[in-house]
Structure 1
């Protein structure tokens, strides 16, 4: 494994000349999206899309920071990219789920996750699994903002929200679980995936504008991964990626880049909107696994084959769950391992999010 890829996420940009972590120009991380960024909200709603059981979280070790070898509701063996990003900005090592009844404003003031595993831009996608639709994630954020004002006072709360980094990451479920599976809602109205993508981009634009109206000024709008290369989407015969899905992801990402550029120029009040590239770092890992310390990028660590198990099918009864998840790019049939999440976070910090340091 090359030295460059063995370095921890706290790289050059994250240290000032004194060697200390960067000053807190970002006082909080506010997160919306699906299972790639859900830190446990689905634990507290009635849905089958959960991961609050072993072996999820089996490698979550935070030392003196708390936590360790326990399921938290994250769809991974450990931390997510947003957790590493939080750490990189000098914030807590774990971003708390907003719906956790034990979460106090004293902890939520530096970060809150509103994401829900199984969610999508299309409300019909969220309805498939009875998870939080994007509109409900926004409603919870409004509730959070009101609590923040009570906790910090109006002026300080406005400052916190204007300096906070808002991360939005979703879209894969809209295509894989809705459009290409059993089309529902808007997905059923479009014969071409590109037309459905245009609809989703419209929802994304409306959502970012709504966040801006509520005080957000720093937004990281994330693209799709090479979703045709997820273990579940690889061809059963030879394990090859489903290139049609990858092409759709690339087309959506191109549209998202254009949207980000337009929003970045149009939103006032010193707003900055950036594009979060997920496709690039994942594709690089798939192309040259050894350079990033991976041995298997085709199957998930958890399960009998690692090709179809996730959620309740990835459990303690899975006899062939791998011994070392760090060698795998994927934890289950869809979700990255902590190792891949770290790679994604490192790349984003070094190519995009450093502008907020």
Structure 2
């Protein structure tokens, strides 16, 4: 065999395995199904009576077509990028958006609602869709899917889907630390334990309905988001380290809960996705990731306090290049930051599902 022929055969072999690997990766996950808060709400809040909306400029300025979809970002969210990286559609539909067909929802959907928490009381304060209601919508969706696809196909989609929970920050910043009810009932550590119990119950509910591949994201360093820096009276402009300590305690207990769930749920694989580490690293070294050195401000408005309706301001008060900012508004990452986080968790915790 000539050297040229050998090279040609080797090239065909490499292409064959690359193509096969690509198909296998996409085929391992049938859909992405999301529960959570504004970090993963792709537009559900557009369809409920709440002020926690992002369906107006400057939100969505870098989304396909410049459309403000209801995502709290200038573009796509972490789960959108994860979906694309899995070989699924590049954006995850909002369940309450009736513009999507059941065929589109069959490859991925989000039940998430901006303002929601693990604690249903959090959603009451913000008039969001509670996590328990999101799980009820999931049950409703399963019945719709069975009706459209048949039981066998629907069961396969549900069992092979990747489930992502991204929720918990609002329980602290919009509930426990902002309002007196839960603080009168629980110490901080007791409230963390209470929330972990709710997280455990939510995963078990999803498992009962057919979920088997489950990722639960930990809390990020929410004491470092611009809004909390602005409100930090102890060190104006600095991270609220008390809040970061709470996030780390929650994450440690969540990891323990995930280990227990894996021992108790036959046939399920539950993973903890660490977002705290990547975000805290970017906050400490923003230029290493191509971000502006000023991570204490978001792109929208003054960048210090604006989010949701407060971001609907005139163009002169909004930055020119959102993706140079770690945060788009005072609480939510920019599209570029979302892509970095998605890459990180897909190459770590979620890798087991590839």
Partner residue, 1:211 = 206
Q: 1:105 to 1:290 in 2, by over 3 A?
A: same
CA offset digits 1:75-101 (Å, max 9, x no partner): 000000000000011000110000002
Verify the 8 A CA contact 1:87 1:93 in the aligned structure 2. Answer: yes
Shift in Å, 1:130? 0.8
Among 297, 300, 304, which residue is 1:299 paired with?
297
Shift in Å, 1:47? 0.5
Q: Does 1:147 align with 2:152?
A: no
CA distance in 2, matches of 1:28, 1:155: 16
Moved over 4 A (4+): none
Report the aligned-residue RMSD: 1.4
CA offset digits 1:149-186 (Å, max 9, x no partner): 111111111111111001001110000010000133x4
Among 107, 115, 118, which residue is 1:110 paired with?
107
Give 5+ residue unaligned stretches, structure 1: 1-14, 62-67
Describe how 1:76-225 pairs up with structure 2 within 5 A: 76-184=73-181, 186-190=182-186, 192-225=187-220
Q: 1:77 to 1:153 in 2, by over 3 A?
A: same
Among 338, 343, 348, which residue is 1:346 paired with?
343
CA distance in 1, matches of 2:31, 2:338: 20
Q: Does 1:42 align with 2:30?
A: no
Shift in Å, 1:298? 1.3
Partner residue, 1:57 = 60
SS in 1 for 2:215: strand
TM-score (normalizing by structure 1): 0.91
SS in 1 for 2:61: coil
CA distance in 1, matches of 2:26, 2:51: 41
- Give 1 or 2 for the bigger CA radius of gyration: 2
Verify the 8 A CA contact 1:179 1:188 in the aligned structure 2. Answer: no
CA distance in 2, matches of 1:187, 1:213: 32
Among 217, 238, 245, which residue is 1:247 paired with?
245
CA offset digits 1:291-348 (Å, max 9, x no partner): 1111131100000x21100011001425321101111000001011001111110000
Among 269, 282, 302, which residue is 1:272 paired with?
269
CA distance in 2, matches of 1:280, 1:273: 19
Partner residue, 2:35 = 32
SS in 2 for 1:299: coil
Q: 1:187 to 1:26 in 2, by over 3 A?
A: farther
Q: 1:266 to 1:16 in 2, by over 3 A?
A: farther
CA distance in 1, matches of 2:180, 2:135: 24
CA distance in 2, matches of 1:282, 1:141: 30
CA distance in 2, matches of 1:209, 1:99: 24
Q: 1:175 to 1:16 in 2, by over 3 A?
A: farther
SS in 2 for 1:26: coil
CA distance in 2, matches of 1:156, 1:113: 20
Among 65, 71, 74, which residue is 1:74 paired with?
71
Q: How many residues align?
A: 333
Verify the 8 A CA contact 1:302 1:318 in the aligned structure 2. Answer: no
Shift in Å, 1:266? 1.3
Partner residue, 1:328 = 325
TM-score (normalizing by structure 2): 0.91
SS in 2 for 1:124: helix
Q: 1:150 to 1:311 in 2, by over 3 A?
A: same
